[in-house]
Amino acid sequence: MKSGKRTSFRIISLLALSCVLLLSLSFPQKQVAAAGTSVKGFYVSGSTLYDATGSPFVMRGINHAHTWYKNDLATAIPAIAATGSNVVRIALSSGSKWSIDSMADVQKILALCDQYKLIAMLEVHDATGSDNTSDLNAAVNYWISIKDALIGKEDRVIVNIANEWFGSWSTATWASGYQSAISSLRDAGIKNTLVVDSAGWGQYPTSVFTSGNAVFNSDPLHNTIFSIHMYEYAGGTAATVKSNIDSALAIGVPVIIGEFGYKHTGGDVDEATIMSYSQQKGVGWLAWSWYGNGGGVEYLDLANGPAGSLSEWGKSVVNGSYGTMATSVLNKIYTTTGYVPVPDNGANPSPTATPTPTATPTPTATVAPTATPSTAPGNLMLYYRAGETNVTDNQIKPHFNIKNNGTSAVNLSGLKIRYYFTKEGSPSLNCAIDWAQLGAVNLTTSFGSLNTTNTDSYLEIAFTSGAGSIPAGGQTGDIQLLIYKSDWSNFNEANDYSFDATKNAFSSWNHVTLFQNGSLVSGIEP
């Protein structure tokens, strides 16, 4: 159904990589023991995927066609991490159609993803669109052949069994094939969370609605999630998107949108609803794809090369209102002080704590109090977007997000944001907090005066002690403000120092400033 998306990744036929990332193995008390004892890792409870710390994990990430661009790995992974993604879906080959990705290759991939705090979802691409059970079995045999790279990584590696296996729009063979595949993987000792793509090249979610429970219950660990690929058939309209997500969740098992684009060969895709409704429902998604698309679907490239600039599609996925920068939350195994990783042999971890993992350049999300806050400047970045772009109305609506790219938590009570503007006239100024992810009660606002180019006033936002801190790799999330005059007369923002109508998605902007304990750490004062 998606053959038009299949790129010419060097020699590939055009088909589609799938995505999945919502689950993993569980804590022993929440998992059914099978194929040996369960281990600490991702696990499923109801329609939610939890990480190894017991926190819900919602995937926000990108597909990467690694197997056709093996030499670009060291460039692509850091660039993907810099988008704020918390997961990357990696296309691998079992050797049936393309050059095999060996166990050593996979170990290298996983080490790099771990270094950059990206959860790795691995998928075998060779069975794409096939109705032959033998092709699914070949994918299973591949996983078993490299299982030593997976065992002990259950807290950071998810296995998408086969990309878009079963191209027909029917269910019975799809269900029986996956029931057998799951049994074989568990019998081999693979306990990672498993992802199963819908039938019909990933675009026939009815297969999940009708037989998903039978497939899920065939997993003795009950640690399987389902993936829908949303292109023109499964994601063409808002109503279709919502219906498919709701119907999948109704079976009581997690679902993710493993792939989606903004259009495809058969028509338009409602990517805005995919992202916004997934946020509303706590459903993970992975956009297709980082770069390298060909065969007429080059428009699906998110970036211009392994570390290239973002395309318009990429800007939507990364910087949009519901994109990775705004909604991605780093897996808490990377932000929890004293977290003990799963040991390589998959046994129960020893009680000795491990050091906090090395920081990554990616700004990702979560706001929670954390121990040992840092006071050192240089690791904080203030992001801005214009919530209202009309330059001559009676309100100014700046939105902010602070990201901590450092290795230690930062107390919010030591931070202050300033937005600079001209007030035009003498009426007094007022500010309302439209919405704040960390709670409006934890913010205070005040106004100050300046006499400089394009500025006579500024709004200052401060944080109470109740705001807590931003953990390493975390962010505050949206802070949405409304400035208005006591008489509701108009502003003229055309020449205001901080206003930029082109920034309708969060962007770094040096005309807004962030202070830490009185020192300027982000932006330039007017």
Active site residues: 164, 259
- Closest to 519 measured CA to CA, from 439, 414, 390, 437: 414
C-beta of residue 19 within 8 angstroms of C-beta of residue 160: yes
> Residue 525: is it exposed, middle or buried by C-beta count within 10 angstroms (0-12/13-18/19+)?
middle
**Residue 324, token pair as written in the block:** 């990775």
Cα dihedral across residues 91, 92, 93, 94: positive or negative:
negative
C-beta of residue 32 within 8 angstroms of C-beta of residue 222: yes
At residue 416, what are phi and psi to the nearest 5 degrees? -140, 135
Distances, alpha carbon 414 to alpha carbons 23, 354, 420, 445, 481, in Å: 37, 29, 20, 14, 20
Cα 272 from Cα 256, distance rounded (Å): 16
Segment (H or E) for 260: strand 255-260
Residue length, the chain? 526
- Closest to 278 measured CA to CA, from 237, 242, 325, 320: 242
C-beta of residue 261 within 8 angstroms of C-beta of residue 231: yes
Question: Any idea which residue has 């389902």 for tokens?
Answer: 226
Distances, alpha carbon 372 to alpha carbons 242, 410, 468, 471, in Å: 42, 8, 12, 10
**Residue 508, token pair as written in the block:** 């770094």
At residue 157, what are phi and psi to the nearest 5 degrees? -135, 130
Cα 373 from Cα 407, distance rounded (Å): 10
431: left (phi over 0), alpha (psi -120 to 50) or beta: beta
Segment (H or E) for 104: helix 103-115
Provide the β-strand partners of residue 516: 415, 519
- Closest to 195 measured CA to CA, from 172, 178, 174, 183: 178
Residue 309 CB coordination number (10 Å):
9
- Closest to 445 measured CA to CA, from 472, 479, 421, 403: 479
